[in-house]
Amino acid sequence: MREAQRIIEASERRFAELDRALHTSLSEASAGALIPHDTLMSELK
């Protein structure tokens, strides 16, 4: 059971890292785009 919990926690950390990286990439991409960042982010929700 501890091994399963460790895997879940590692997966959650990795997901959070990927989520932050994606958000950063979208922010950088939208900085030069015609679509305002707020509009882009609201469309993705």
pLDDT recorded at residue 27: 80
Q: Is the entire prediction scored with pTM above 0.75?
A: no
> Taking residues 3-24, what's their average pLDDT?
94
Domain ranges, ordered by start, for the chain: 2-44
Distance CA 3, CA 40 (A): 39
pLDDT recorded at residue 9: 97
At 14-42, the pLDDT tens digits run 999 999 999 888 887 777 666 666 776 78
With contact defined as beta carbons under 8 Å apart, do 30 and 40 qualify?
yes
Distance CA 14, CA 31 (A): 26
Residue 45 predicted with pLDDT over 80: no
